[in-house]
Amino acid sequence: MSDATKSNSMPLKESTQQSRRSFLRGSAAAVAGIVTAGVAAESAQSFLHPRSVLAQSTLTPDAALKELMDGNGRFVSGKTTAHEHDLTILKQHLEEKQEPYAAVLSCADSRVPVEIIFDQTIGHLFVTRVAGNIITPEIIGSLEYGVAVLGTKVILVLGHSNCGAVKAAVAGKSVPGQISVLYPHIQPAVDQAGPDYKAVTRANAKIQAKLLSQASTVVSEKIKEGGLKVVAGYYDIGSGAVTLLT
């Protein structure tokens, strides 16, 4: 039996214990890599953007979050405006640089089209996507780039209804391939919220947002300076509404 097969057929209790250990090791690894990522981001900022103030990022964190949620309100009401922008002009303006005012960490689910549900057009949002909207070193590095180089003012960690990754983590059953690597990241939310999928999804978004705020020195320092907000949200696929979680 191969190692992958043994892993997938592992008893749930033993798998959960290993998941917790893996999550802690993964978090430690993420923290260890932040300094290097932060230095790289700072160097990239100096090289790519010698000017410190970007057009869209002059928004305050609160104003950036309001713009994001106002866009979702337009989406829910069916009064979107993003399609009215002249895409030809936008493409020409953004060809040499990008100036997103907000970043969103979303699930990879195809039913969560981030720019559409927030009624935003090309260049407005810096989006990272991974099943279960989890924090990994790669995701942290990407979001640090958005903060340190592009000047984003708010990061929204967005969970959503009927999330397959959450359901799989709650069930904890054997799965093919590498799907089970998602489980350790979501397990703390399962431990906290129990078997209710919706509660686990909400808890997971909040846990991932907190982890990002603490694991990344780039993000945490910008929060302390008052130049960034990291928030968690929940997207209801049925209604189209995004709710901020506190």
CATH number of the structural domain spanning residue 206? 3.40.1050.10
pLDDT at residue 207 tops 50: yes
Please state, rounded to an integer, the average pLDDT across all residues of the chain: 82
The 3-state DSSP class for residue 233 equals: strand
Inside any domain, residue 55: yes
Residue 111 tokens read as: 């039913």
Inside any domain, residue 92: no
Helix, strand and coil content of the chain, in percent to the nearest 5, comes to 55, 10, 30
Residue 25's domain spans which residues?
3-84+97-245
User: For tokens 């129990």, what's the residue?
Assistant: 194
Count: domains in the chain: 1
Q: Most confidently modeled of 14-18, 25-29, 85-89?
A: 85-89
pLDDT at 93: 74
pTM of the shown model:
0.77
Cβ atoms 183, 19 nearer than 8 A: yes
Q: Within 13 A of 165's CA, how many CA atoms are on the CB side?
A: 28
Do you know the residue count of the chain? 246
User: For tokens 């214990």, what's the residue?
Assistant: 17
Inside any domain, residue 91: no
φ, ψ of residue 41 in degrees (nearest 5)? -65, -40
- Cα four-point dihedral sign 191, 193, 197, 200: negative
68-to-101, 105, 111 alpha-carbon distances in Å: 9, 13, 18
Q: What is the pLDDT of residues 65-87, one digit of tens each?
A: 999 999 999 999 999 998 888 77
Inside any domain, residue 90: no
Cβ atoms 158, 65 nearer than 8 A: no
Q: What is the pLDDT of residues 28-52, one digit of tens each?
A: 444 344 334 443 443 343 333 333 3
Inside any domain, residue 121: yes
In this structure, of 53-67, 119-133, 215-229, the range with the lowest mean pLDDT score is 53-67
pLDDT at 169: 96
